[in-house]
Amino acid sequence: MINFESREELQTFISREKDKGLSIGFVPTMGALHAGHLSLIQAAKDTCDLVVCSVFVNPTQFNKAEDLEKYPRNEKRDKELLEKAGCHVLFLPSVQTIYPDGTDHFEVPDVGHMAQVYEGEFRPGHFDGMMQVVSLLLDMVNPSHMFMGLKDFQQFAICKKMVEIQGRTVEVCGMPTFRETNGLAMSSRNERLSAEAKKEAKIIYETLDWVKQHLLDYDNSVLAELGERQLKNFPGLILEYFDIVDKTSLRHTNNKENLIALCAARIEGVRLIDNMIL
Ligand code: AMP
């Protein structure tokens, strides 16, 4: 695996490989890697000739300074995992490399309603910062495919819309959520949970799964309320939202097709998000 910290060196290398006719698969991450991230590397290897992974904890997408400060970082382990997974290129830029002219020069694409609800509502500015960094990384890497996790469903949907608005040719591929054996969605933030909290957090998956099993037994709004109540009543868990919406528009519907259940909750001060396609 080749490591780059400089944008120029990365771009020189990539354009040389592209001139040879190689396709580039890109996996953007914030590090503290786990099996979910590595599944994206594998998907990129299965589809493209050359896999580029970036590890960059992007300050502009954190709406709380404390969350940025506490975000887990483990560069040495990330490198080992990526090497083992057969990643070809690791891009490890500094904040200065990504934002040489500061962070104010980004015209945020208007993706509409989907950036205003749920994560957009509870983390003001988060999606603007996320689009900013993904946009800059796409300029630098210029891949044919970008691989993202469906765990961050809104992020995936917004990136798909953003590349369409920007007229990019990159294909944005959404990959299934990797889970712990108890159902808890893998996340870098899980590192901050105690063993006890990790056990309890499985209630999120159980509730999503219960909703899926009972999809045809209730109206969508009733089902969403039942899921919400179950999580609100769970000791130690602070629910931010639980809802069932159309997965394309992220709006409420009475239809039983194309639905997704979305959820965010905090346990031990750690914010966890999850979803399930129904
Ligand atoms: P992050 O490092 O949290 O920014 O995540 C980098 C990429 O990995 C994003 O596209 C995430 O959606 C994806 N990802 C995170 N957790 C998982 C998981 N449990 N399963 C699959 N993909 C994931």
* pLDDT, position 105: 82
Determine the Cα–Cα distance for residues 55 and 57; give it in Å rounded to an integer.
7
Closest residue to atom 5 of ligand 1, CA basis:
29
* pLDDT, position 106: 85
Asked whether 177 lines ligand 1 (CB < 6 A), one says yes
Determine the Cα–Cα distance for residues 97 and 92; give it in Å rounded to an integer.
9
* pLDDT, position 256: 97
* pLDDT, position 239: 98
Asked whether 158 lines ligand 1 (CB < 6 A), one says no
Q: Which atom of ligand 1 is nearest to the CA of 150?
A: 12
Residues of the chain falling short of pLDDT 50: none
* pLDDT, position 67: 86
Determine the Cα–Cα distance for residues 147 and 156; give it in Å rounded to an integer.
9
Determine the Cα–Cα distance for residues 154 and 161; give it in Å rounded to an integer.
10
Asked whether 188 lines ligand 1 (CB < 6 A), one says yes
CB distance 149 to 35 below 8 Å: no
Q: Which residues in 34-61 are b (16+ Cβ under 10 Å) and which e?
A: bebbbbbbbbbbeebbbbbbbbbbbebb
- Ligand 1 center to 187 CA (angstroms): 7
pLDDT for 54-80, tens place per residue? 999 999 999 888 889 988 899 999 999
Asked whether 190 lines ligand 1 (CB < 6 A), one says no
* pLDDT, position 119: 97
Q: Which domains does the chain have, with CATH numbers?
A: 2-175 (3.40.50.620), 188-272 (3.30.1300.10)
Closest residue to atom 12 of ligand 1, CA basis:
149
Determine the Cα–Cα distance for residues 178 and 150; give it in Å rounded to an integer.
10
* pLDDT, position 64: 87
Closest residue to atom 18 of ligand 1, CA basis:
36
Q: Are strands 270-277 and 50-55 parallel, antiparallel or unpaired?
A: unpaired
CB distance 267 to 193 below 8 Å: yes
Asked whether 148 lines ligand 1 (CB < 6 A), one says yes
CB distance 241 to 122 below 8 Å: yes
- Ligand 1 center to 273 CA (angstroms): 11
- Ligand 1 center to 174 CA (angstroms): 10
State the residue for tokens 């893998």.
186
* pLDDT, position 63: 85
Asked whether 185 lines ligand 1 (CB < 6 A), one says yes
Q: Is 37 a catalytic residue?
A: yes
Q: Give me the DSSP letters along 2-24.
A: EEE--HHHHHHHHHHHHHTT--E
Top mutation candidate among 29, 37, 198, 274 for ligand 1, by most atoms within 8 Å of CB: 37
pLDDT for 103-137, tens place per residue? 988 889 999 999 999 999 999 999 999 999 999 99
Asked whether 187 lines ligand 1 (CB < 6 A), one says yes
